[in-house]
A and B are shown apart, each in its own frame.
Chain A
Amino acid sequence: DAGVIQSPRHEVTEMGQEVTLRCKPISGHNSLFWYRQTMMRGLELLIYFNNNVPIDDSGMPEDRFSAKMPNASFSTLKIQPSEPRDSAVYFCASPGGLAGGVNEQFFGPGTRLTVL
């Protein structure tokens, strides 16, 4: 398994543009998390899917942000329109499993978004 895959790894865009971040979670697990990390606010949960259904989107900053998980192997996080304060690293995470049944979260490599 290649782990969690995210694309693009880096994105530089201008204010007002639409940004789409993509994630392919670990196969066989039907939960997925989107996080945002900044120096000021640390690592924040944006939205959590289980069985492809959004369970908790209380962390989504505002209506400019939307996320979908059309199937168990793909999710998108969209920002429209983007603003400079959206600049951050966006991580996608997928639960894994250890021998003891602990479902820790495996993080993807992240997308570093810069909005000019």
Chain B
Amino acid sequence: GQNIDQPTEMTATEGAIVQINCTYQTSGFNGLFWYQQHAGEAPTFLSYNVLDGLEEKGRFSSFLSRSKGYSYLLLKELQMKDSASYLCAVRDRNDYKLSFGAGTTVTVRA
């Protein structure tokens, strides 16, 4: 099984940086995903890490440490449109199956 933990809520100011942490304890591991979900919409893919280290994609970066069972999503230069829920998900070893955390609701204030 999978146990995935992330904070419930975070609030930040427009233009600032926010870091969303995710810890996991899993029976198998074949990659960690971050998804963004705006209210009333479907989750959309943001990033993927399978090796240790930092993956940068524009204003968003994601970090993974497999030995620590830890990842974070870093959102820089926050914009109002970044207000959303951010879901951490771990892929099982052998297939496409994803287990999702409960999500972190980020609120960006002016």
Interface on A for B, CB 8 Å cutoff? 31, 33, 42-45, 48, 50, 55-56, 91, 95, 98, 102-110
Contacts and interface: CB of A to CB of B under 8 A. Distances in A.
Main secondary structure of the interface of B (DSSP, over half): loop
Contacts of A43: 43, 87, 100, 103
B95 A105 contact: no
Nearest to A107: B42
Given A104-B45, A106-B45, A42 B102 contact: yes
Contacts of A44: 100
B99 to A, nearest CB: 7
Nearest to B101: A42
Contacts of B63: none
Contacts of B33: 104
20 contacts: A33-B97, A42-B100, A42-B101, A42-B102, A42-B103, A43-B87, A43-B100, A43-B103, A44-B100, A48-B95, A55-B95, A56-B97, A95-B96, A102-B31, A104-B33, A104-B45, A105-B98, A106-B45, A107-B44, A108-B42
Interface residues on B, range: 10 to 19
Contacts of B103: 42-43
Contact of A50 (B45, B48, B95, B102): B95
Given A42-B101, A42-B102, A104-B33, A31 B96 contact: yes
Interface of B: 31, 33, 41-45, 48, 87, 95-103
A109 B96 CA distance: 20
A38 to B, nearest CB: 11
Given A33-B96, A50-B96, A106-B45, 10 more contacts: A33-B98, A42-B100, A43-B87, A45-B97, A45-B99, A48-B96, A48-B97, A50-B95, A95-B96, A105-B98
Contacts of B48: 98, 102, 104
A67 B17 CA distance: 43
Contacts of B31: 102
A98 B33 CA distance: 13
